[in-house]
Amino acid sequence: MTDFPILTLLVLVPAVGALVVALVSNRQPDLVKVTALLTSILTGGMALWTLFAFEKSEAGFQFVSQHSWIESWGISWHLGVDGISLFLVVLTGILFPLVIAGVDPHHDHKRYLAWMLLLEAGVMGSFVSLDLFLFFVFFEIVLVPMYFLIGGWGYDQRIYAATKFFLFTMVGSAFMLVGIIATALIAKADDGAVTFDLVKIAENAEFAASTGRWLFFAFAIAFAVKVPLFPLHTWLPDAHTQAPTGGSVILAGVLLKLGTYGLLRFGVYLFPEAAVWARPVFLTLATIGVLWGAVAATMQTDLKRLVAYSSVAHLGFIVLGTFALTSQAITGGVMQNINHGISTGALFLLVGMIYERRHTREIAKLKGLQKVAPVFAAAFMIVMLSSIGVPGLNGFVGEFLVLIGSFGTARWWVVIAAVGVILAALYLLWAYQRVFHGEPDDDNRSFAELKWKEGMLLLPFIAIIVFAGVYPKAMLDRIEPSVDKLLEHVQEHSSWVAPEAQSNEGGEG
Amino acid sequence: MGVLVADTLVGPKVDWFALSPLLVLLGGAMVLLVVASLTPPWPKRLYATFTAAVAFAAFVLCFPLWHRIDVDGPSTLVGNAMHFDQMALWVTITISVAVFLGSLLTDDYLRREGIDGPEIYALFLLAAIGGIVMGSANDLVVLFLGLEILSIALYVLAASHRKRLQSQESGLKYFVLGGFSSAIFLYGIALVYGGTGSTNFDRMLDALAANVPAQKGDDAILLAGVALLLVGLAFKVAAVPFHFWTPDVYEGAPTPVTAFMASAAKAAAFAAMLRVLLQALPNFADDYRPVVWALAVITVIGGSVMAVVQTNVKRMLAFSSISHAGFMLVGVEAASHLGTDNDGRSSTLLYTLIYAVLVMGTFGVVTAVGRTGDNATDLAGFRGLGRTRPVLAFAMTVLLLAQAGVPLTSGFVAKFGVIRAAVVEHSYAVAIIAMVASVIAAFLYLRIMISMWIADPEAGDDQREPVRTPAYLTVAIALSVAFTLVVGFFPDWLVALAP
């Protein structure tokens, strides 16, 4: 089982699919769609297979495959998943076929689908890479398809938004590339040969405190842009709002997770001492992000932009959990990655459906939709409640774990950030009230009810929302061992002592 | 004064086989000049095919020679005047490839523009000889000879579109400024000769070792010479602030010639810079390293910033080539940390080869899009290319992404190499500045891509002459794209090879 290069296939299948789609003649639009859909379903199937074959008690990396790639520079094709990345891989595998099947780009299907599949390959690669160079390659390559998706199929301001997205992320990457090279070369002194292997560097190298902090900074800036952390978040509302629906779903669902995942995997794991040292900065920025995102979301007049700002708030919460550095908070943060991907992805789909019907996203122009489309409203309500974090739905579990886990180590930050949770209820419920309640006026009276196809598209999202809310143990059992191992690594390599993390855990399981 | 003993005058021993790539190129140029002038015009494509074949022969000859150096080690040729090492062969390979692709680009261009004759091809081959001599020189005078052979050929090439005024302007401008810089370079040679008593690298080193001038405080003349040499070379590589000729010359010259200048001439100039700085003047490394550092920084920033405000793609690519020169200077800076085992030199040479192929392909697309008259090279000329010629637009996209340094393209490998070399030497500042500048430059490549794929069509777009891609041009672009991707995915063999 472990010999089967499942992760390599997870990366290669969509990449090859993209190539095939690009080569199919324009005169066969159906063949293009079927190829793309089958490719993404196959990838999703493999991702699910990984989930079921995953050994849940095992904390280390699984399904590891390693081949030399650029030997002269000590770079290898090294892939593996652990509990932290497992569900991100699964999320990616699930979201792409849904988006490809359910969202119509309206024009140039072939190019759109080719970029989508290439994007999937890039995202998959980023989540399973265990080599710094390889990770950078995927991290950067993701920009290109996303750029073309926003630029080619987005709304009015798409060129501005796409360019801003590309350049912002690239500035962060510029620092990270130098950081990656420096990390590998400085780690060499202890080890003899230069390697870009994440695990080898993290386990063997001891960086001097000041060196480690600089290197951590170089990585962190790239991820802070990607997350995005306040004040580097300004690209996000533009990119999200201008992207086509499919692009927004992917952007919110998985692309932002590259940032939070990166902070954990390449920040905390690689430079524990520096991460502990930089805690106050990140906790503060995350807390500001939570409040800022919430306040900004409250004030939006565009429904899509509102959802985009809510992402800033949610992601801030995840970063808060990450840097609280307790088992519960990090586990909650990892889970919240998935929750946010599902619920915000679904929200973007719903907003996209509203736009398809009304050709506007202005909250002021929408009214009383609940009367004319009750099922649609119900779906929106469930997804929205999940995003708010109502108990019984998935959002609650992650948020609660972050709150409770952070209380011991980051008390005042989390107390302030908790206000954001209340604000989330405020802006989302208020938006719901304005859009769905009341008597529909003439423009909104013809608003069509949820179609079968749309319902089928939303069903998996709602199923996951409910399942993860009712039975989070399935996820937590797989995430926790890896998180604990990471935390042990942090305690071993820094002065950090995670308070009572171990004792709390018994009561919770 | 002594007795002239004529019968003991022996010419230096010449290793003809080691010189064979040069001889092949020279023979090809002679055939084109002599035979072609005595015969009626050759059939369509034969001039280009012949030139490409000559370049290919020179390219192939490098491999047995490479093997010979692997076995026997490097040596010098023609009475210690030229190096016979893998760096010289690397330059030969780079320039041969540039001539090969350049002649493929030129073929249809000449017919389209109504310019005939083999002289352009002959000049390509002669320029190649000059470039190779520059990259192999072990003597400042030999290096200067190579520089002049290359430059004079390029002056004529730049002006070779006789019907286009900008081309004349380009040639003249390049000639005046180039002549000026050659004079400065020559003055530098004279001063260094005054300080060391020789122009031969080895004897210069001996002289400096026997008589360390810095300790006596009388190295002013040498330092002035080093500075002038550096200025002359910085002009050739188009480093800021010696870049002013570049945009006008690149824009005015026939597009295939521009491609040749950006690839072969840049490669030769960087090889010469490495030779002079590392092999002739290592004693002054501590003096010129900060200068190279500053040149690198202002060149990457200057090139990138000035590129983004342009609207003509040829001008954009001219400034982008300046920015690339800045990246190569980052490699040179790393290489000038002597004594440590860093990859500065090999990463710079790797960059020149990768960039040479890349820029050939890019200008190949520009050649096609320029249409008859070579004038439609502003951004509007690219508008809608993704709709009308998706494959060509895709090729251009790959090449532009590579220039921007996106992973899985050769451009990333090149950038990674020089940045890595800089980091090895703890030159973090220059590495970060260069990477951030490359983000600025990325904006320019995005603009071209937006024009091709995203921009809305405008009235009159349909009336434009369609973009034609004849066979040879297609082959050249395809080869360039293939190399870009293959090296992007599997860089190891090339990285390991770079001397």
CB neighbours of A220 closer than 8 A, spacing ≥ 6? A263, A267, A278, A282
Q: What is the mean pLDDT of each run of 10 residues along chain A (509 residues)?
A: 77 90 82 89 91 85 87 87 90 91 83 91 92 92 90 87 89 90 80 80 80 90 89 87 89 90 90 89 92 90 90 90 90 91 91 87 84 88 89 87 87 86 87 86 81 88 90 88 88 78 42
Looking at residue A509, its pLDDT comes to 35
What pLDDT was estimated at residue B290? 93
pLDDT tens sequence across B272-318: 999 999 988 888 888 899 999 999 999 999 999 998 888 899 999 99
> Using the beta-carbon criterion (under 8 Å), do A170 and B496 form an inter-chain contact?
no
Q: Which residue of B has its CA nearest to A164?
A: B443
What residues in B contact A135, CB-CB < 8 Å? none
Tell me what the mean pLDDT of segment B21-34 comes to.
Answer: 93
The 3-state DSSP class for residue A77 equals: strand
Q: How far apart are CA B267 and CA B247, in angstroms?
A: 18
Most A CBs within 10 A among B397, B419, B489, B494, hence the mutation to make, goes to B419
Contacts of A129 (CB under 8 A, 6+ apart): A78, A79, A135, A137, A138, A198
Say what the pLDDT of residue A435 is: 87
Q: How remote is the C-alpha of A295 from its chain's centroid?
A: 22
Domain ranges of chain B: 14-497
Taking an 8 Å cut-off on Cβ atoms, the answer to whether B420 and A69 are in contact is no
Angle, CA B49 vertex, CA B43 and CA B50 arms, to 5°: 90
A167/B491 CB distance under 8 A: no
Structure confidence at residue A506 (pLDDT): 40
15-44 in B: which are within 8 Å (CB) of A?
none
- Chain B residues within an 8 Å CB radius of A138: 407
C-alpha B131/C-alpha B149 separation (Å) is: 8
> Between chains, do A140 and B407 touch, taking CB under 8 Å as contact?
yes
Query: What's the pLDDT score for residue A503?
Result: 42
pTM of the model: 0.90
* Cβ atoms of A224 and A168 closer than 8 Å: no
Q: What is the pLDDT of residue A508?
A: 40
Predicted local confidence at residue A501, as pLDDT:
47
Q: How far is A171 from chain B (nearest CA, A)?
A: 6
Looking at chain B from residue 371 to 410, which residues have their Cβ under 8 Å from any Cβ of chain A? 401, 406-408
Question: Nearest-CA distance from B453 to chain A in Å?
Answer: 7
Distance CA A413, CA A285 (A): 10
From chain B, the residues in CB contact with A152 under 8 A are: 453-454
Closest approach of chain A CAs to the CA of B465, in angstroms? 24
Is B432 within 8 Å of A178 when comparing Cβ atoms? Answer: yes
Best probe of the B interface among A25, A181, A225, by most B CBs < 10 A, is A181
pLDDT value of residue B135: 93
| Beta-carbon separation of B423 and A181 below 8 A | yes
Q: Cα–Cα distance between A384 and B144 in angstroms, integer?
A: 74
- B394 vs A108, A112, B270, B397, B399, CA distance in Å? 15, 14, 31, 5, 9
To which H or E segment does residue A64 belong?
strand A62-70
Between residues B69 and A448, the one the model is more confident about = B69
Q: Is the pLDDT of residue B415 over 50?
A: yes
Q: CA of B406 to nearest chain A CA: how many angstroms apart?
A: 7
Tell me whether residues A171 and B454 touch, CB distance under 8 A: no
Contact criterion met (CB below 8 Å) for A181 and A118: no
Looking at this protein, which amino acid is placed at residue B185?
A: F
Which one of A71, A73, A167 has the shortest CB-CB distance to B439?
A: A167
Q: Which residue of A has its CA nearest to B412?
A: A137
3-state SS assignment for residue B82: strand
**Cβ pairs A/B, distance under 8 A:** 78
Q: What is the residue type of B244?
A: F
Among chain A residues, the shortest Cα distance to B387 is held by: A108
Using DSSP, state whether A131 is helix, strand or coil. Answer: strand
CB A293 within 8 A of CB A421: no
Contacts of A178 in chain B (CB under 8 A): 419, 423, 428, 431-432, 435
Residues of A in contact with B401 (CB under 8 A): 144
Specify the pLDDT at position B221: 87
Contact: B431, A178; criterion CB under 8 Å = yes
The one-letter amino acid code at B321 reads: S
Nearest to A253 by CA among A130, A363, A60, A102: A102
Contacts of A59 (CB under 8 A, 6+ apart): A82, A83, A481, A482, A484, A485
d(CA A204, CA A495): 18
Please, are residues B178 and B159 in contact by the beta-carbon 8 Å criterion? no
Instruction: Tell me which chain B residues have a C-beta less than 8 angstroms from the C-beta of A170.
Output: 439, 442
What is the rounded distance in angstroms from the CA atom of residue B323 to the CA atom of residue B163?
Answer: 31
Report the residue from A71, A174, A181 with minimal CB separation from B420.
Answer: A181
Question: How far away is chain B from the Cα of A252, in angstroms, using its nearest Cα?
Answer: 23
Q: Is A388 exposed, middle or buried (0-12, 13-18, 19+ CB in 10 A)?
A: buried
Amino acid A218 reads A
Contact A259, A172 (CB under 8 A): no
What tokens does B91 get? Answer: 């330059």
Query: Contact A177/B435, CB-based, under 8 Å?
Result: yes
Q: For residue B211, give Cα distances in angstroms to A30, B198, B227, B338, B461.
A: 80, 13, 20, 20, 70
φ, ψ of residue A76 to 5 degrees: the values are -130, 160
Q: How far is CA A231 from CA A286, A289, A322, B57, B443, in A?
A: 10, 8, 18, 58, 22
Query: For chain A, which residues lie within 8 Å of any Cβ of chain B, measuring from their own Cβ?
Result: 69-73, 136-138, 140-141, 143-144, 147-148, 151-152, 158-159, 162-163, 166-167, 170-171, 173-175, 177-178, 181-182, 185
Q: Which two tokens stand for residue B4?
A: 């002239």
Query: What one-character DSSP code corresponds to residue B498?
Result: -
Q: Using CA atoms, how far apart are residues A291 and A420, in angstroms rounded to an integer?
A: 5
State phi, psi for A272 to the nearest 5 degrees.
Answer: -60, -40
Q: Which two tokens stand for residue A354?
A: 């509203």
Q: What ipTM does this complex have?
A: 0.87
- pLDDT for B144 beyond 90: yes
Q: B333 pLDDT band (50/70/90 cuts)? A: very high
Q: Looking at residue B298, what is its pLDDT?
A: 94
Interface contact B492-A70, CB threshold 8 A = yes
Residues forming a β-bridge with B76: B83
**Secondary structure of residue B200 in the 3-state scheme:** strand
Q: Which residue has the tokens 């386990």?
A: A203
Decide: A85 and A261 in contact? Cβ < 8 Å.
Answer: yes
Burial B389-403 (b: 16+ CB within 10 A, else e): bbebbbbbbbbbbbb
Q: Which residues of A touch B443 (CB under 8 A)?
A: 163, 167
Nearest CB among B401, B432, B435 relative to A144 is that of B401
The DSSP code sequence of A145-182 is: HHHHHHHHH--TTHHHHHHHHHHHHHHHHHHHHHHHHH
- DSSP H helices, A154-278, are 158-191, 198-204, 209-226, 235-242, 245-250, 257-262, 272-277
Task: Return phi, psi of residue A65, to 5°.
Answer: -135, 135
B491–chain A nearest CA distance, Å: 7
B419/A178 CB distance under 8 A:
yes
- Is the CB of A72 less than 8 angstroms away from the CB of B496? yes
Q: Which residues does A30 contact at the CB level (< 8 Å), separation at least 6?
A: none
pLDDT given for residue B43 in this prediction: 85
Q: Is B78 on the interface with A (CB under 8 A)?
A: no
- CB contact under 8 Å between A136 and B407, yes or no, is yes
Q: pLDDT at position A505, please?
A: 43
Cβ within 8 Å, pair B454-A170: no
Over range B423-446, report the average pLDDT.
89
Q: Is the peptide bond before B407 cis (omega within 30 degrees of 0)?
A: no
What's residue B293's pLDDT? 94
- Please state at what angle helix B266-274 crosses helix B220-237, rounded to 10 degrees: 160
Its sign, for the CA torsion B243, B249, B251, B257, is negative
Output B182 or A191, whichever has higher pLDDT: B182
Which residue(s) pair with A65 in the sheet? Answer: A79
Q: What is the DSSP letter of B466?
A: P
Q: What is the DSSP string of B15-27?
A: -TGGGHHHHHHHH
Longest dimension (CA), chain A: 74
> Residue B96: what pLDDT?
96
- How many angstroms separate the CA atoms of A189 and A191, rounded? 6
C-alpha to C-alpha distance for B407 and A78, rounded to whole angstroms: 17
How far away is chain B from the Cα of A266, in angstroms, using its nearest Cα? Answer: 19
